[in-house]
Chain A
């Protein structure tokens, strides 16, 4: 795709560019074609409404309005370009001031620019209009200077970006003068974004110019631009009310043409814009607002390639039994799939997951980032949002079928609790911690305001937060990370849940705090008999807390086994994960074990997802998805295990 094609990729960009071209053509041709018609006075047809002879009617001297609007294109456009040029040049010089003037003066200029952009452009324009007086040239100068601060700020950002690059440092070391660097090295590199922004800025300047002329501060008679025409039309508003429509339409269309052309090109080329800069500064002021989710850490994908001789180690008691229907389970999931649309079609990061969690049981789910474990948790909790889609043969929780199309709000609100990975961003920064707990009690526990708050304080105490009554009145930012996660767990046990889903609850915390949080989860589970589903990339975390472990890879559960048997796991991936955890007896002189390669992305799968990284993989592994073999409480999806069993 060429640069031009890319710039004009969208219909909107094309429309805007065509409109802009039309304005330019009119500016050149209109005075030649309609110049005389626009000046022809006809005292017999004053202020006539639209007719066949005069499509837009006539003005106070009987002159054809449409012709005058078309002819005025040239003057309007020339003045707009003049003002824009003044603004860009002044803005460039001001924006480059920190570079040219050195630190102290540069900072003063930067401060002044920062102050000037806080004033509405029209106020700056009026300020300069007082100085320069009325008239077309004065108005162009006033508007140019009024737009200079915005251009200056843009240039500052652009110049700072170029200055950070190596060739500037090289030029400086080479003793090249500042002005030479500015014009030979910096200007060529900021030229394109500056031009694009100048195009967008010209739209606003055109509109402002129309405003000044409309007030009588810009173009003076007998000359006329669109703004002046609108002013004259307003004077005759009682006779011909809609006369100002024609010049008004011209102003809006031309303004939009400039604006949209600039903005769409900037968007398609990924150029920083002045409107974007405004957004940035707003965001900077909203400073510490927690933003996007922190990327999950990569799991300890590590293993010492196990020798072929230890394989296969299938536990002796493996028997093939059909899976039960999970009737006794608290949570029973069958064939869960999660799908998302992408530009290249639908992908399924979770591809058929089945497991049970018994009442009071602690189950771990381990896997690397991207294995689909968090999505599995969100899907079970019915928290996958549009456009994601969840399909399952069955998701039964506490006797209810969650996939039956009804919302089960009350059941999920009371009996299912979620603890998320990042306590820094999972609590609402603008609400008091106590209130965030209490609202759950009010929504689902049938508690009134006071009882809910008392319960919240009690729960904060239960998760070992000191001075819970005082803490409940504080905001999340007054809590430490570990305390916030304990508050999240407190939220989880606000009512009496039957299952707590904890998704990487310790990942964002310090190592010392991790142990406290795990300990807290384990003790709550023991005390209240709550089932715990702990999701982690860290086998050792799961091993410390859980009775049973599910191992997930490439969107499927590859092994489901009692935690006590992790050391004798059957699946090569599980074995690799376990071997990667250093213990007290690990040989510290040997390099840390790793699993070579990386996990597959959704959509690049054929056969066993682990095959590309598996030391045992053969042709069948690469071609066919392994079947699940199960023996009592142990399930494995691996061809080698399946064959050994057979």
Chain B
């Protein structure tokens, strides 16, 4: 293929467009994280070290953070630091920030990803089943019960689930460990706490999407073929409801990654969520900055991956747009 022919290819054009968006979004997040420190009212170093700190220590810390340099120079160093893995040093622990991130990030991901998979695994079949049961206004009571339950379950914050589970399964029944990250059993309560709310929200959306698809002409065509019911639902309806479900799932996974902040603090889970809460309360700004950056980049990467999957799954969607 000639170069111009490659550029004509819609997949190539799509890849370029999407990569461009990815870079710009990442740049915005990096810039926001950089300026975050400079937006802090007052003197961040004084704030971190306290009023009683000796002037030499404050000056040394300011020097270490590079706050004496011109803003543009700081920005340049910050960005080049990202490429070399130099995110600065923790004020509190006096060790490189990236070391903390390297230890803590896997703990958070190992909580968010299983919770997300659990949510998908439960919510999608549940939503499809509820759509089938309640389609065309059948089973009004089941519909009311489902919607009501899912609204309430979706409203309860995950840290409250965490507290309840600790009280119930950890302390009263003593079935499961309630703190720390040791062994598979320690994952159960935090993962379920994270997943329940997501299941409620996702199942509701899946039901609405599948209901919409069940009313389309092509499902009528499938019915006119007299296919077995399961084929109509699984082969014809569900794939068409996936686009919207996946888009929402991406948002959900991003939210779950950040929501671990609550669950981690409930279950004393050594992840990024605990790190950032400690960093904020103790004004350890380099650490807070880095964690925010990791969260933000994570959200952007998840969104990009979802877009790619959507483009692969749905032959008409993103690739042909714009």
A488 CA / B299 CA spacing, docked (Å)? 43
CB-CB < 8 A to A381: which residues of B? Answer: 224
Q: Which of B59-67, B87-95, B123-131, B213-221 contacts A (4 or more CB under 8 A)?
A: B213-221
B155 and A412 contact, CB distance less than 8 A: no
A414 CB to nearest chain B CB (Å): 9
What mask results when residues 229 to 256 of chain A are scored 1 for a CB within 8 Å of chain B, else 0? 0100110011001101100100110011
Residues from chain B with a CB closer than 8 A to the CB of A131 are: 36, 39-41
Most chain A C-beta atoms within 10 Å of own C-beta, residue among B41, B159, B295: B159
CA of A119 to CA of B301, assembled, Å: 12
B236 within 8 A of A: yes
Q: Report Cα–Cα, A118/B47, bound state, in Å.
A: 32
Stretch at the interface among A72-80, A214-222, A315-323: A214-222
Given known A119-B299, A282-B244, A428-B240, contact A290–B217 (CB-CB < 8 A): yes
> Judging by beta carbons under 8 Å apart, are A215 and B277 in contact?
yes
CA of A126 to CA of B295, assembled, Å: 10
* Interface residue A420 (Cβ < 8 Å from any Cβ of B): yes
Query: In angstroms, how far is the closest chain B Cβ from the Cβ of A156?
Result: 19
Interface locus among A330-338, A438-446, A455-463: A438-446
- Which among B41, B138, B221, B283 has the greatest number of chain A C-beta atoms within 10 A? B221
In the complex the two chains form, is A120's CB within 8 Å of B254's CB?
yes
Q: Is A538 interfacial (CB 8 A cutoff)?
A: no
Q: B281 to A420, Cβ gap below 8 A? A: no
Cα distance A555–B229 in the bound complex, in angstroms: 31
Q: How far does the Cβ of B127 sit from chain A's closest Cβ, in whole Å?
A: 14
Residues of A within 8 A of B155 (CB): 203, 207, 252, 255-256, 259
Task: Specify which of B137, B217, B277, B315 lies most central, judged by the most chain A CB atoms within 10 Å of its CB.
Answer: B217
**How far is it, in angstroms, between the C-alpha of A413 and the C-alpha of B221 when the chains are bound?**
11
Contacts of A583 in B (CB 8 A): none
**Is B243's CB under 8 angstroms from A289's CB?**
yes
Q: How many residues of B contact A (CB 8 A)?
A: 81
Of residues 296 to 322 in B, which have CB atoms within 8 Å of A's CB atoms?
296, 299, 303, 310, 313-318, 320-321
A414-438: contact bitstring with B at CB < 8 Å (1 yes, 0 no)? 0000101010011111110000000
Let me know if A425 and B218 touch, CB within 8 A.
yes
Residues of B close to A214: CB separation below 8 A: 159, 262, 265
Name the prevailing secondary structure of the B interface residues. Answer: helix
Does B53 sit within 8 A of A, measured CB to CB? no
Residues of B within 8 A of A443 (CB): 225-228, 231
A644 partner residues in chain B, CB cutoff 8 A: none
Given contacts A430-B314, A477-B315, contact A383 B224 (CB under 8 A): yes
Bound: A143/B281 CA distance, A = 17
With A122-B261, A256-B152 in contact, do A230 and B47 touch (Cβ < 8 Å)?
no
The interface residues of chain B lying within 8 Å CB-to-CB of A282 are 244, 247-248
Residue pair B217, A425 in contact (C-beta under 8 Å): yes
- Stretch in B71-79, B101-109, B166-174, B187-195 touching the partner: B166-174
User: With A and B bound together, what is the CA distance between A245 and B243 in angstroms?
Assistant: 38
Are B295 and A412 in contact, with the CB atoms below 8 A?
no
| Binary contact readout A190-231 vs B (1 if CB under 8 angstroms, 0 otherwise) | 000000000000010001001100111100000000000010
Q: What CA separation (Å) do A150 and B276 show in the bound complex?
A: 24
Q: Decide if B150 is an interface residue (CB 8 Å cutoff).
A: no
Contact check: which of A248, A252, A439 meets B163 at CB < 8 Å? Answer: A248
**Is B285 an interface residue, CB under 8 A from the partner?**
yes
Contact of A413 among B171, B225, B259, B314 (CB under 8 A): B225
- Contact between A285 and B310, CB atoms less than 8 A apart: yes
A289 touching B240 by the CB < 8 A rule? yes
A248 — which chain B residues lie within 8 A by C-beta? 156, 160, 163-164
Chain A nearest Cβ from B163, distance in angstroms: 4
**A134-B281, A285-B243, A409-B226 as given contacts; A386 in contact with B151, CB under 8 Å:** no
B172 touching A287 by the CB < 8 A rule?
no
B32 close to chain A: CB less than 8 A: yes
Instruction: Verify if A170 is at the interface (C-beta below 8 Å from B).
Output: no
Q: Which residue of chain B has the shortest Cβ distance to A288 in the bound complex?
A: B316
| A230 CA / B161 CA spacing, docked (Å) | 12
B96, chain A: closest CB distance, angstroms: 19
B160 in contact with A244 (CB, 8 Å)? yes
Residue with the highest number of chain A CB atoms closer than 10 Å, among B32, B39, B316: B316
Q: Within 8 Å CB of B137, what residues of A?
A: 386-387
A259 to B154, CA, bound (A): 12
B-side contacts of A122, CB under 8 Å: 255, 258-259, 261
Is the beta-carbon distance between B217 and A133 smaller than 8 angstroms?
A: no
Q: Return the CB mask of B31-69 against A: 1 if under 8 Å, else 0.
A: 010001001110000010000000000000000000000
Is the CB–CB distance between B258 and A120 below 8 Å? yes
Q: Is the CB of B316 within 8 A of A287?
A: yes
Q: In the bound complex, what is the Cα–Cα distance between A214 and B156 (angstroms)?
A: 14
Contacting residue for A118 out of B171, B220, B259, B303, CB 8 A: B303
Chain A residues with a Cβ closer than 8 Å to the other chain, count: 78
Residues of B within 8 A of A217 (CB): 277, 280-281
| Interface: A385 (CB within 8 A) | yes
Within 8 Å CB of A386, what residues of B? 135-138
* A127 B316 Cβ-Cβ under 8 A: no
Given the interface contacts A119-B296, A252-B155, does A283 sit within 8 Å of B160 by beta carbon?
no
Question: Is B111 interfacial (CB 8 A cutoff)?
Answer: no
Contact of B299 with A118 in the complex, beta carbons under 8 Å: yes
A291–B285 CA distance with the chains assembled, in angstroms: 50
Which residues of chain A have C-beta atoms less than 8 A from B39's C-beta? 131
**In the bound complex, how far is the Cα of B226 from the Cα of A407, in angstroms?**
9
Assess whether A590 is interfacial by the CB under 8 Å rule: no
In angstroms, Cα B276 to Cα A285, docked, is 34
Contacts of A251 in B (CB 8 A): 157, 160
B288 interfacial contact with A, CB 8 Å: yes
B210 interface residue (CB < 8 Å to A): no
Contacts of A383 in B (CB 8 A): 220, 223-224
A133–B272 CA distance with the chains assembled, in angstroms: 18
B113 at the interface (CB under 8 A from A): no
Cross-chain contact A431 with B235 (CB below 8 angstroms): yes
Cβ of A450 within 8 Å of any chain B Cβ, yes or no, is no
Contact in complex: B225, A475 (CB < 8 Å): no
- State whether the Cβ of A464 lies closer than 8 Å to any Cβ in chain B: no
Q: Which of B159, B218, B226 makes the CB contact (< 8 A) with A412? A: B226
Cβ of A219 to closest chain B Cβ, rounded Å: 13
A577: CB under 8 A from chain B?
no
| A123–B160 CB distance below 8 A | no
Whether a CB of chain B sits under 8 angstroms from the CB of A4 is: no
Known contacts A120-B255, A440-B225; is A234 also within 8 Å of B217 by CB?
Answer: no
Given contacts A241-B172, A287-B321, 15 further A-B contacts (CB under 8 A): A118-B299, A118-B303, A207-B157, A210-B157, A215-B277, A241-B168, A252-B160, A282-B247, A287-B316, A287-B317, A288-B320, A290-B218, A426-B218, A429-B316, A439-B225
- Some 21 contacts from A to B, beta carbons below 8 A apart, are A118-B299, A122-B255, A122-B259, A126-B258, A126-B280, A131-B41, A217-B280, A241-B166, A244-B163, A251-B157, A251-B160, A285-B243, A285-B310, A287-B321, A290-B216, A290-B217, A385-B136, A409-B226, A410-B226, A418-B221, A488-B221
Listed from nearest, the 7 A-B pairs whose CB atoms lie closest are A241-B167, A413-B226, A425-B217, A120-B255, A244-B163, A428-B218, A418-B224
